[in-house]
Amino acid sequence: MNPSTSNQNERDSSKLQTENPSTSNSDYQDLSKLQTENPSTSNQNERNSSKLQTENPSTSNQSERNSSKLQTENPSTSNQSERNSSKLQTENPSTSNQSERDSSKLQTENPSTSNSDYQDLSKLQTENPSTSNQNERDSSKPPADGLDLSIVVPVYNEEKSLPDLLERIVTSLEGAKLSYLKGAKLRYEIICVDDGSTKDGSAKWLKDKALTHPNLKAVLLRRNYGQTAAMAAGFDEARGDVIVTLDADLQNPPEEIPRLLEELNKGYDLVSGWRKNRKDAALTRLLPSKIANWLIGKLTGVKLHDYGCSLKAYRKELIAHIRLYGELHRFLPALAYIEGARIAELPVKHSKRKHGVSKYGLGRTFRVVMDLFTVFFMKKFLTRPMHVFGILGIVSMTSGVLMGGYLSFLKLFFNESLGDRPLLILAVLLVLTGVQLFCFGLLGELLMRTYHESQGRPIYRVRHVIPSKGSQT
């Protein structure tokens, strides 16, 4: 076959596609058929075509540009089998094959045709997250339901007291006429946290009662964690603007709750009950309590008559900044003072225990002292640990260096023996201790920064921001 004739045919074919695209498909099909029947001729034509493109690239490029322009301007006349599916979906997705359509492209351009169940669920969770799965909701940050009050009651083997307790709480709150509500009804919830009761049916009673009582929520812990953990669990579940804590033994009467709320509304962040006429044993309960209250007041600077009274009222925003560990529940006023809270104390009534036995005793004294030192350190040096460890380290090192200098003076000028003098060992010990204390201070500074920065926790608390007159306008 003559190569020049082949080249001429290809140029004529390209020109024909440009001038009359309707005849392009037929010629292309004939050419494909010819290549199938006579592959040697096809190979020769391809080699000649490559040579032609090398010698005269402008003609080939012009043909390709014309062909691309033709497909863009009139895609309906091009060959359906050679059509680019991605180009077709972009320019005219309604005519593309449904089975080969890209699902992600379909959801973007025409979401109404995607899977309805999955699409509706995703859209619903985006527009209205409150309707998402309840099990995935973070219980520590429950949604605000517009409640005025949450009452948190830790429970540990108090089954006989629970019916009377619940009734008295409801009666006192339903009949309460609080001045700051201006006649509106008090919206409240009662959160009873069972701290792993095993000696009676407290957990079962709470579980059954919560299914029928409109204001009762039962939180059942897996085991006995202690009163601090039970209170923390109740705080996490609370949704009210004000939180009141109360023991389940009925020694603190629930009828005192409205008085605490009225006092709190005077501008305080925490109101602590004071059992002024306490009905407990003088030697085993009253005397240790008085000593502990005096000591705590001295070390923390928060002087209250009764730290051990569980009847207290807190503002929710204050509790949100306090984390309880160990047995720090009895130091909540001191922890609140660290957060800048305004604290008041209100005398409340106190009654003898009717059911069960007390869970407190002299055995807790040592734990109270240890927690007291923790609170004292947090109050004074939480954001500046180097001020305590660094100062002690410098004092220790300085003392050791001075002793070492004195011993060196004796050795150099008086040639006295130092090997049998305890002062030499003390000097070395003081220097090493000082270095360690100074290093503890540096580590404390690093940990303090990690503690605050990792949580985005500022070292201050803002009560109010009053904008300038210009910013208000």
Q: Mind listing the pLDDT tens digit for each residue in 242-285?
A: 999 999 988 889 999 999 999 999 999 999 999 988 877 777 77
Residue 47 tokens, joined? 């080699």
Cα 464 to chain centroid distance, Å, stands at: 24
Model confidence at 457, in pLDDT bands (50, 70, 90)? confident
Are 405 and 307 in a shared domain? no
Give how many domains the chain has, as a whole number: 4
Are 373 and 393 in a shared domain? no
Are 304 and 374 in a shared domain? yes
Residue 230 tokens, joined? 């039970």
Are 372 and 404 in a shared domain? no
Residue 416 tokens, joined? 């006295």
Parallel/antiparallel/unpaired status of strands 240-245 and 312-315: antiparallel
Is residue 122 domain-resident? Answer: yes
Report pLDDT digits (tens) over 101-112.
444 343 434 434
The pLDDT value recorded for residue 451 is 80
Model confidence at 117, in pLDDT bands (50, 70, 90)? very low
Is residue 460 domain-resident? Answer: no
Is residue 466 domain-resident? Answer: no
Are 163 and 307 in a shared domain? yes
Are 338 and 408 in a shared domain? no
Is residue 258 domain-resident? Answer: yes
Are 170 and 256 in a shared domain? yes
Burial class (CB in 10 A: 0-12, 13-18, 19+), 18: middle
CATH number, domain containing residue 219:
3.90.550.10
Whether the CB-CB separation of 224 and 232 falls below 8 Å is answered with no
Whether the CB-CB separation of 154 and 248 falls below 8 Å is answered with yes
* Host domain of residue 443: 386-454
> How many whole angstroms separate alpha carbon 182 and alpha carbon 163?
31
Report pLDDT digits (tens) over 415-441.
888 878 889 999 999 999 999 999 999
Are 172 and 240 in a shared domain? yes
Is residue 272 domain-resident? Answer: yes
Of the residues 353, 380, 407, the one at which a domain ends? 380
Tokens 């032609």 belong to which residue? 52
The pLDDT value recorded for residue 109 is 42
Tokens 């020049």 belong to which residue? 4
Is residue 94 domain-resident? Answer: no
Asked if residue 53 has pLDDT above 50, the reply is no
Are 255 and 149 in a shared domain? yes
Parallel/antiparallel/unpaired status of strands 188-194 and 343-348: unpaired
Of the residues 92, 116, 135, the one at which a domain ends? 135
Helix (H) or strand (E) holding 8: helix 3-19
Of the residues 365, 380, 395, the one at which a domain ends? 380
Are 187 and 205 in a shared domain? yes
